[in-house]
Structure 1
Amino acid sequence: MLASLVVSCKDGDSLWDSIIPETDEEPTSTQIEGYVFYPAVQGATDANIAQLRVPAGFKINKFADGVGKPRILVADANGHIYASDREAGIVMLLTDANNDGVSDGVKTVATIKQAHGLSLHKGKMYIVAVREVYVADVNGDGTLGVPKILIDDLPDGGQHPNRTIAFGPDNKMYISVGSTCNSCPEPNPENATMLRAEEDGSNRKIFAKGLRNTIGYAWHPETNALWGMDHGIDWLGDDEQKEEVNQIAQGADYGWPYIYGEGKYNPGDRPKGDTTYKQYLQKTTLPALTYQAHSAPMAMAFYSGAMFPGEYKNDAFVAMRGSWNRSEPVGYKIVRMHFENGKPVRFDDFVTGFIMNNNKAHFGRLVGVTVHKDGSLLFSDDTNGVIYRVSYQ
């Protein structure tokens, strides 16, 4: 499928000004090719898993199989693993009692329509759906008490209903609320933001804005700085918009929908009123690092375990779900984000091989990432209902 937009161009201007002028006094002109390409789906067979690639010394296996459509993962200090299934509207509990690296079974511990984001905080489980936040006590065996509602008026979901939730070093609740659209001015100021509230859900405020859809975020273990990966705008071409790594700070504006990437103008949306692109750019916080467009970053977890080599400590793992509107697929992998002196500096592949048959098929679109009690890395695939485990020998 090919989509394009072509409008008039004024000759004689610079490329930047002629394509995207600062004001409406001149025509906007751009041509964009867009593609829809979903690789065919294969099963997570032993043969397919055997060709997954991890760095030397690591191994990968199925931690759990046939567990619906697992999305976000969290782990506690007792070895309990929790997974949400948004489509089924449940939270699952998985355990590995004999420590063989394979789950002994799965149990539904909460039923909440469109449950997605999960966070463990002070002996309680916090669960966010589209418009609601719930809290439940965590029992000694890992099961949950009856969920109680804390918030019931988050913005509507629209295109991005997958809320995520976490608690910061300040013991505040952080909720990522994506945009309702690909690219548009939002009528509700809480869309395309990071919200912050008290532990009981009260005193909710916009912490940062201009974030199209930051599903994965976490605090650096040493600096306590909040880092997140934002999904780029679709339909700007194969290599635009790149995915952004942002240091998310209180009061900052990250540009969406008007400014993207390294300070580029979005031709599809102009800042409101008399504000020019240049003026909006001046108040926009630009990303610290970028990644291949359309890779679709999902959950993010800093590594704080003891199993992996010391060089991995305080680096982050990110699940790249994979593209759907690019001529050649990208993503479909777990990547390692290297941090130096508290700042992200580069990405390396960590788990690859989910794309097969000369880029025409796949057997995993990845979502959740968490570090298990034993230091192994767990990640989820909601295409084939698998939770994978990466360990180091």
Structure 2
Amino acid sequence: MPNPQRDSHTVNVVLPAPLTATPENIGRLKLPAGFHIAKFVEELDSPRVVVVSEAGNIYVSSRDAGTITMIDGRGKKKKVLELENVHGMVIHAGILYYVTIKQVYAAPLNPDGTLGASKLLITDLPDAGQHVDRTLAVGPDNKLYVSVGSTCNTCEERNHINSTMQRYNLDGSGRETFATGLRNTIGFNFKPGTKDLYGWDDGVDWMGDQEQREELNEIEQGKEYGWPYILGNGLKNLYLTPPHGATLDQWAAKTTLPVLTWNAHASGMQLIFLKGTGLPSDFDGDALASMHGSWGANPPSGYQVVRIHFEGSVAKTITPFVDGFLMQTQGGSGWARFARPFGLAQMADGSVLLGDEQNGILYRITYSR
């Protein structure tokens, strides 16, 4: 971490030019042997979070449009909700839970896949500031988990709910702070068959091309994850002083470090765990995370999907799974992209859905021996 009294560093702002997803561009994508990617649904409006119901219906949120769209097995689209800033979603026991900046709602899924009457569960999530993308999940404890990002890049929050993981009863009651020091954990999920919660925390900006590395955390109740005082794998933020008279060394001692790190500024979004159906056996229990892409790094990072490989309950490696949305070009910033990956979900047959927010495309990734 640069010392504010003696060091300086350079920040590169690089904005890759947006391109269309032509067959030629898609043909350049790199996936592991046996995997194939193709367009599944087009003309979506800035698709964000993707979830799939037991009936096989796909639900896609769009914060920009303020909508949730249902897509049936034939790819037919139907708008099922309009609500400003709707973003995170999770389906549990036939109910779709969804979140805006300050509210959480629940709506039963009708037999035709549309939504029944919504019920407002939570009304008092704090102001978002810089990070408006609320996300949620239901844990094996039958509790509702809501990620509340920080309002800033690095600052001392005035509201103690910001930069935390919150936990509620399914009816919205019984709020408690589950974990703290999480800058912006958009992608998080429980490893199936366990109580283990993993989340991808996006690192801070303005520290240069290589810092701060992104964090994969195992998020446990009562743990502190460092932000804004301890970053990445233990960097001390010399620009801030911890509260209550604590030193940076003392804050570092109580900080839980990430289990793995990844390229700085990649901007992790949705994170899912895979079931082995239709996939190679060594993918069963692994996770995928979508990387939305950088703006403050040269060369740019992200614009891909990564695989988090587990051995038993231990996350061992992070490697590219879908790569090639980013490419070098002549002129401009020297870089271009034909996707900003976001949504991830797995279908019953094992195929994986990948949403591209930039071009409004939902891709389907399949495997054949």
Q: TM-score, normalised by structure 2?
A: 0.96
Question: 1:168-190 deviations in whole A, cap 9, x for unaligned?
Answer: 00010000000000000000000
Q: What is the alpha-carbon distance in structure 1 between the residues aligned to residue 269 and residue 285 of structure 2?
A: 18
Identify the range of structure 1 (306-315 vs 220-229) with the bigger mean alpha-carbon deviation: 220-229
> Cα distance, 1:268 vs. partner?
2.6
Q: What is the alpha-carbon distance in structure 1 between the residues aligned to residue 54 and residue 28 of structure 2?
A: 32
> Cα distance, 1:58 vs. partner?
1.0
Check whether the contact 1:229–1:246 (CA below 8 A) recurs between aligned residues: yes
- For 1:35, the equivalent position in structure 2 comes to 12
The partner residue of 1:310 within 267, 272, 281 is 281
For 1:221-232, list aligned pairs within 5 A: 221-232=192-203
For 1:101-112, list aligned pairs within 5 A: 103=75, 105-112=76-83
Identify the range of structure 1 (156-165 vs 302-311) with the bigger mean alpha-carbon deviation: 302-311
Q: What is the alpha-carbon distance in structure 1 between the residues aligned to residue 43 and residue 68 of structure 2?
A: 15
Q: Is 1:263–2:234 an aligned residue pair?
A: yes
Q: What is the alpha-carbon distance in structure 1 between the residues aligned to residue 111 and residue 262 of structure 2?
A: 41
* Runs of 4+ with deviation above 4 angstroms: none
Local SS of the residue matching 2:243: coil
The partner residue of 2:253 within 282, 287, 290 is 282
- For 1:63, the equivalent position in structure 2 comes to 40
Identify the range of structure 1 (339-348 vs 80-89) with the bigger mean alpha-carbon deviation: 339-348
- For 2:339, the equivalent position in structure 1 comes to 364
Check whether the contact 1:305–1:376 (CA below 8 A) recurs between aligned residues: no
Local SS of the residue matching 2:315: strand
Q: 1:162 is aligned with what amino acid?
A: D
Q: Is 1:382–2:357 an aligned residue pair?
A: yes
Question: 1:21-50 deviations in whole A, cap 9, x for unaligned?
Answer: xxxxxx743312112111000011222112
Q: Unaligned stretches of 5+ in structure 1?
A: 1-15, 21-26, 98-102
The root-mean-square deviation of aligned C-alpha atoms, in Å, is 1.3
Larger Rg belongs to:
1
Local SS of the residue matching 2:137: strand
Q: Unaligned stretches of 5+ in structure 2?
A: none
For 1:1-393, list aligned pairs within 5 A: 20=3, 28-97=5-74, 103=75, 105-358=76-329, 360-393=335-368
Question: 1:92-131 deviations in whole A, cap 9, x for unaligned?
Answer: 101124xxxxx2x111111111000001011110010000
Q: What is the alpha-carbon distance in structure 2 between the residues aligned to residue 334 and residue 62 of structure 1?
A: 16
Q: 1:114 is aligned with what amino acid?
A: N
Check whether the contact 1:110–1:147 (CA below 8 A) recurs between aligned residues: no
Q: What is the alpha-carbon distance in structure 2 between the residues aligned to residue 339 and residue 236 of structure 1?
A: 30
> Cα distance, 1:242 vs. partner?
0.4
Q: What is the alpha-carbon distance in structure 2 between the residues aligned to residue 166 and residue 342 of structure 1?
A: 20
Q: What is the alpha-carbon distance in structure 2 between the residues aligned to residue 379 and residue 212 of structure 1?
A: 25
| Residues matched between the structures, number | 364
Question: 1:81-102 deviations in whole A, cap 9, x for unaligned?
Answer: 10000011010101124xxxxx
Local SS of the residue matching 2:264: coil
Local SS of the residue matching 2:252: helix
Q: What is the alpha-carbon distance in structure 2 between the residues aligned to residue 305 and residue 165 of structure 1?
A: 24
Question: 1:213-271 deviations in whole A, cap 9, x for unaligned?
Answer: 00011111243200111000111111100000111000101000000111110133221
Q: What is the alpha-carbon distance in structure 1 between the residues aligned to residue 28 and residue 155 of structure 2?
A: 42
- For 1:11, the equivalent position in structure 2 comes to none
Q: What is the alpha-carbon distance in structure 2 between the residues aligned to residue 243 and residue 111 of structure 1?
A: 33
Local SS of the residue matching 2:249: helix
> Cα distance, 1:55 vs. partner?
1.2
Q: What is the alpha-carbon distance in structure 2 between the residues aligned to residue 374 and residue 290 of structure 1?
A: 31
Q: What is the alpha-carbon distance in structure 2 between the residues aligned to residue 28 and residue 371 of structure 1?
A: 49
Local SS of the residue matching 1:35: coil
> Cα distance, 1:77 vs. partner?
1.6
Q: What is the alpha-carbon distance in structure 2 between the residues aligned to residue 129 and residue 217 of structure 1?
A: 17
Check whether the contact 1:34–1:325 (CA below 8 A) recurs between aligned residues: yes
Local SS of the residue matching 1:275: coil
- For 1:7, the equivalent position in structure 2 comes to none
Q: What is the alpha-carbon distance in structure 2 between the residues aligned to residue 29 and residue 209 of structure 1?
A: 31
Q: What is the alpha-carbon distance in structure 1 between the residues aligned to residue 177 and residue 115 of structure 2?
A: 30
